[in-house]
Amino acid sequence: MNLGNDTFKILIATDIHLGYLEKDAVRGNDTFVTFDEIMKHAKENEVDFILLGGDLFHDNKPSRKAMHSCLEIMRKYCMGDKPILFDIISDQAVNFGSSRFPWVNYQDENLNISTPIFSVHGNHDDPTGADGLCALDLLSCAGLVNHFGRSRSVEKLEISPILLQKGSTKIALYGIGSIPDERLYRMFVNKQVTMLRPREDEESWFNMFVIHQNRSKHGATNYIPEQFLDDFLDLVIWGHEHECKITPARNEQQLFYVTQPGSSVVTSLSPGEAVKKHIGLLRVKGRKMNLQKIPLQTVRQFLIEDVTLANHTDLFSPEQPNVMQKVQAFCQQKVEEMLEEAERDRLGNPLMPEKPLIRLRVDYSGGFEPFTTMRFSQKFVDRVANPKDILHFTRHRESKDNVKEEAIDFDMLLSRPSSEVLQLRVEDLVKEYFQTAEKNMQLSLLTEQGMGKAVQEYVDKEERDAIEELINYQLEKTQRYLQERRVEASEEKIDEEVKAETEGQSGEREKRKKMRAERKEKRKEVRDGADEAREELTGLGGRREDEVREQDCR
């Protein structure tokens, strides 16, 4: 493909998770270093713009350090005299309507932007609170990011593309910031998602779509099937999934390509994250495209291996008195080999951090026992970035039928440090709580759904007012209801009316019962979703787990 004034050069990256583990003495700077590398690639390649797929920040309320580092890196790389060679021909007030400065930053006459960033938000950095602001809005207000793909309605989505033109090449850039998967799924099914298309020369546009949702099926409706997406699209850039599958894959049904750049930092010790991290240099000319993979040099190595103890009965057997020592020595040998491999791989790359992430998954089925990992960790504390959780014991596909639908043990949880408990999905805890609570203990005025959402916002997003806002909302609603019914102010009467109201709200008791039964069925799925979190608990406490399924922690 010839380069020239008709060719867009776009750097694509996603899930940079600035601030992930920023307090960690070893890994604390990883996300900032890699973001710097990504921006440097953009500069060196003189791209027209940078396109990010969400989760620029790991925390909904980034720390001051994370925000400061981000501002610093952006100001360093996004500003300068390099001329911008493309135009925006769509209505910017629509494209960037959520910003206080609803126009693209490089056209602001007070800012000298050389490399504009366009980004949707992810689930980690999505808008929250009464003002509906997110971390990207601060960057947008500072003139450093063009935040797009934000919807105001929860009922329907009308996506107006940003229309970009460079010479004869025209790109229609669509995007949706992260939305709960179930809701977006429902909206697609109900035909409430519309992608607006430019009227003229419909066929002359290269149509790109940025999405930050589950791509792999996490539940019946807990993902977005590619088939849902319009078939006029040419390229879908899929954020949220951390595994690097950046080479565009053709969807033979819809006839578009999907590129999944993957995260630029390992946030869970699962196989998907062990795939070498890349960003993409996308060239678009006319309706043709080419995506060049750029391997990231600064990403900490991550090696993962599985061993099945039962396959090594030549070395040890469960009956031997000193089997534990032998197994430990075996595991240690394995880790040493992995460290050697990491070192060979790191040779000649001075940008790569010295200590790799190492995960050895030990299947101890067949009568073996897991061992406490403290001493083991000590051995590698100077050579491995994650000494505390190198080993992960699993028992593979065994006694699967015996797995009981145990309720979450709240007492156990509450006795643990809150930081660990927080790694469980709060939503699940609330659901579980409401399901296991005695009927007469349940709250009458606050719905499960509302409370679950509020508690989750409170914890996930550090949205301190979420619960208060919910309660005020419900209080006002109830007061209005009581006023309308002109209930006299006796406590008994009010109790009665409240009962009537809440039952009215949810329809009838029957409906509720049915819902509860449905939820029970779903519970298995929900529990799978919490496995990653539990894994942390297991790794630390050495608690046994049957059939722990690993999953990306996004």
Q: Which residues are catalytic?
A: 124
**Binding flag, residue 64, its own copies (CB under 8 A):** yes
CA-based max dimension of the chain: 82
Taking CB under 8 A as the criterion, which residues in 2-31 touch its own copies? 23
**Which residue bears the tokens 């298309």?**
197
Non-local (6+) Cβ contacts of 459 within 8 A are 422, 426
**Binding flag, residue 100, its own copies (CB under 8 A):** yes
What residue spans of 400-545 are helical by DSSP H?
Answer: 410-414, 418-421, 426-436, 448-460, 466-485, 491-505, 509-529, 531-541
Decide: residue 522, CB within 10 A, 0-12 exposed, 13-18 middle, 19+ buried: middle
Say how far apart CA 476 and CA 474 lie, in whole Å.
5
Question: Among residues 110 and 153, whose Cβ is nearest to its own copies?
Answer: 110
Count of residues that interact with its own copies, criterion CB under 8 A = 30
* DSSP assignment letter at 79: B
Q: How far is the CB of 298 from its own copies (least distance, A)?
A: 19
183: left (phi over 0), alpha (psi -120 to 50) or beta: alpha
352: left (phi over 0), alpha (psi -120 to 50) or beta: beta
Question: Among residues 399 and 472, whose Cβ is nearest to its own copies?
Answer: 472
Question: Among residues 101 and 481, whose Cβ is nearest to its own copies?
Answer: 101
Which of 239, 160, 166 is closest to 193 using CA atoms? 160
Which of 4, 5, 24, 68 forms a contact with its own copies (CB under 8 A)? 68
Span from 31-39, 108-116, 170-178, 184-192 in contact with its own copies (CB under 8 A)? 108-116
Q: How far is the CB of 377 from its own copies (least distance, A)?
A: 19
Question: Among residues 91 and 108, whose Cβ is nearest to its own copies?
Answer: 108
Question: Among residues 468 and 496, whose Cβ is nearest to its own copies?
Answer: 468
Between strands 206-212 and 157-159, the pairing is unpaired
Q: How far is the CB of 137 from its own copies (least distance, A)?
A: 6
Q: How far is the CB of 138 from its own copies (least distance, A)?
A: 6
Question: Among residues 147 and 283, whose Cβ is nearest to its own copies?
Answer: 147
Q: How far is the CB of 518 from its own copies (least distance, A)?
A: 37
Q: How far is the CB of 409 from its own copies (least distance, A)?
A: 28
Span from 61-69, 204-212, 271-279, 504-512 in contact with its own copies (CB under 8 A)? 61-69
**Binding flag, residue 36, its own copies (CB under 8 A):** no
* CA pseudo-torsion sign 60, 66, 67, 71: negative
Say how far apart CA 7 and CA 504 lie, in whole Å.
60
Q: How far is the CB of 71 from its own copies (least distance, A)?
A: 4
The angle, 0 to 180 degrees and rounded to 10, between the axes of the packed helices 531-541 and 509-529 is 50
Taking CB under 8 A as the criterion, which residues in 271-290 touch its own copies? none
- Residues 184/213, Cβ–Cβ less than 8 Å: yes
Span from 72-80, 156-164, 181-189, 531-539 in contact with its own copies (CB under 8 A)? 72-80
Q: Where are the beta strands (DSSP E) in 301-347?
A: 302-308
Taking CB under 8 A as the criterion, which residues in 114-143 touch its own copies? 129, 131, 133, 135, 137-138, 141-143
Which of 29, 40, 71, 497 forms a contact with its own copies (CB under 8 A)? 71
Which residue type is seen at 135?
A: A
Q: How far is the CB of 417 from its own copies (least distance, A)?
A: 12
Span from 103-111, 208-216, 248-256, 350-358 in contact with its own copies (CB under 8 A)? 103-111
Report the 10 Å Cβ neighbour count for 415: 9
Say how far apart CA 248 and CA 208 lie, in whole Å.
12
434-473 footprint of its own copies as x/- string (CB under 8 A): -------------------------------x--------
Which residues of the shown chain bind its own copies in the complex (CB under 8 A)? 23, 61, 64-65, 67-68, 71-72, 75, 79-81, 100-101, 109-113, 129, 131, 133, 135, 137-138, 141-144, 465
